[in-house]
């Protein structure tokens, strides 16, 4: 089979039963010139049987015995031979026009190397939705990352193979924030963007929302923003590897706020929307800056919707 234009990196570990919806959302895409690199990293459920049983030439199954998301991603990068590469998680859902719109966007904007999209959180059953917005322009994306926020939803990205591969892929030292670190590492050399359309549904499972790994993720956000601050903010930071520093009081409050918010998201989507809303209010009370920046981002999004912007016009 010829390589085509697009490879989709789909790392999977025990993906059933949601993997079925994820794969079907790929096969229903309006843009069909792609191959799916399904990298099974140590699944012990029916993942292997489902993927190999499809007998679909668009699905290329690769088995890794080790459970390692970073290794699965880098294996996919090594195998991809197409000009464009996209990401997806095994329990999420793509809008049917996602690939068509991202490919068209990158073809119109040759200066942009990587583009994500806006999207929607869904619960385990998919019954409840919660919209999320990311900044659209490169400058806004970088500014948001410097505020310890991930400004690009990793599973939504599509990027130029030639723009990313020279930077050696994902670094396992920064798991579970290997995506955030990669975006910071390339962001002063590769132009980033997000499409305003909601082209992705990101499934949030209640039991996985609050855990030690979530706390470690938010601590890592602060560490990485400090690590790369010399490049983006000219702050005089070293920009090199260093030990995780002792969190300052405001950092601890910010981490606590993000953990409460993530807990609220799981409750809102999977248990009770009113109870989830109380968690959101508590997160804003713990760190008012989070609430302020959220309102500011919402105001920008509203302004773009009413008055338009250069980025929005490019996508029409």
Q: What is the CATH number of the domain that holds 106?
A: 3.90.550.10
Q: What is the pLDDT of residue 241?
A: 41
Q: What is the pTM of this model?
A: 0.84
Write down the pLDDT at residue 51.
97
Region for 237 from its dihedrals, namely left if φ exceeds 0, alpha if ψ lies in -120 to 50, beta otherwise: beta
Do the domain assignments include residue 292?
A: no
Give the pLDDT of residue 129: 87
pLDDT score for 246: 46
Quote the pLDDT of residue 250: 66
What is the residue whose two structure tokens read 């959302």? 25
Dihedral angle of Cα 231, 301, 313, 111, to the nearest 10 degrees: 20
Question: From CA 316, how far away is CA 3, in angstroms rounded?
Answer: 29
229 by Cβ neighbours in 10 Å (0-12 / 13-18 / 19+) ranks as middle
For residues 88, 89, 91 and 93, what is the CA-based torsion angle, rounded to 10 degrees? -20
Residue 231 covered by a domain: no
Question: What residue has token string 């459920």?
Answer: 45
- Is residue 199 in some structural domain? yes
Q: Is residue 190 part of a domain?
A: yes
CA 147 – CA 226 distance, rounded (Å): 10
* Bridge partners (DSSP) listed for residue 163: none
Measured CA to CA, the distance from residue 280 to residue 276 in angstroms comes to 7
Residue with the two structure tokens 């699965």? 72
Domain count, the chain: 1
Q: Please, what is the angle between helix 138-146 and helix 178-186, to 10°?
A: 130
Extract the runs of DSSP E, i.e. beta strands, from 176-286. 191-203
Please report whether residue 252 resides in a domain. no
Residue with tokens 């990158």: 106
Residue 143 covered by a domain? yes
How many angstroms separate the first and last alpha carbons of the chain? Answer: 33
For the chain of 316 residues, list the mean pLDDT of each consecutive stretch of 10: 84 95 97 97 94 95 94 96 97 97 97 97 86 93 86 96 91 92 94 97 72 72 86 53 50 79 85 86 79 56 50 34
Looking at the DSSP bridge assignments, the partners of residue 119 are: 132
Cα separation, 285 vs 279, whole angstroms: 10
Instruction: Cite the DSSP H helix spans in 64-211.
Output: 69-79, 98-108, 138-146, 161-164, 178-186, 206-209
Note down the domain range covering 112.
6-209
- Predicted local confidence at residue 206, as pLDDT: 65
Measure Cα distances from 26 to 9, 22, 96, 99, 275 in Å.
11, 7, 8, 9, 34
Question: How many Å apart are CA 172 and CA 178, to the nearest integer?
Answer: 7
Which residues make beta-bridge pairs with 120? 131, 201
Give yes or no for a contact between 209 and 283, defined as CB atoms under 8 angstroms apart. no
Give pLDDT, residue 245: 43
Six-digit token string for 291:
């609430």
φ/ψ of residue 133, rounded to 5: -125, 140
- Whether 113 maps to a domain, the answer reads yes
Q: What was the pLDDT predicted at 219?
A: 82
Residue at 122 is within a domain: yes
Q: Which of 299, 217, 230, 207 is nearest to 258 (CA)?
A: 217
């Amino acid at each position: 089979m010829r390589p085509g234009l697009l490879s989709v990196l789909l790392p999977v570990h025990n993906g059933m039963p949601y993997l079925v919806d994820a794969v079907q959302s790929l096969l229903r895409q309006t843009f069909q010139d792609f191959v799916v690199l399904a990298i099974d990293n140590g699944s012990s459920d029916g993942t292997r049987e489902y993927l190999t049983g499809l007998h679909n030439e668009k699905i290329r199954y690769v088995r890794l015995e080790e459970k390692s998301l970073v290794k699965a991603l880098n294996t996919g990068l090594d195998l991809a031979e197409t000009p464009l590469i996209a990401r997806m998680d095994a329990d999420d859902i793509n809008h049917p026009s996602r690939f068509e719109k991202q490919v068209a966007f990158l073809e119109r904007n040759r200066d942009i190397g990587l583009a994500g999209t806006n999207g929607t959180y869904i619960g385990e059953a998919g019954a409840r939705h919660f919209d999320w917005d990311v900044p659209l322009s490169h400058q806004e994306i970088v500014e948001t990352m410097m505020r310890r926020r991930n400004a690009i939803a990793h599973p939504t990205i599509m990027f130029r193979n030639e723009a990313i591969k020279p930077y050696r892929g994902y670094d396992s030292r920064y798991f579970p924030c290997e995506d955030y670190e990669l975006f910071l590492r390339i962001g002063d050399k590769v132009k980033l963007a997000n499409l305003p359309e909601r082209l992705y549904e990101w499934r949030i499972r209640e039991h996985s929302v609050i855990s030690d790994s979530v706390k470690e993720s938010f601590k890592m956000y602060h560490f990485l923003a400090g690590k790369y601050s010399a490049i983006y903010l000219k702050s005089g930071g070293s920009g090199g590897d260093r030990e995780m520093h002792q969190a300052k009081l405001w950092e601890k409050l910010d981490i606590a706020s993000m953990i409460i918010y993530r807990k609220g998201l799981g409750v809102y989507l999977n248990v009770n929307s009113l109870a989830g809303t109380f968690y959101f209010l508590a997160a804003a009370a713990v760190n008012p800056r989070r609430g302020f920046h959220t309102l500011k981002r919402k105001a920008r999004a509203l302004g773009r919707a009413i008055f338009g912007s250069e980025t929005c016009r490019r996508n029409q």
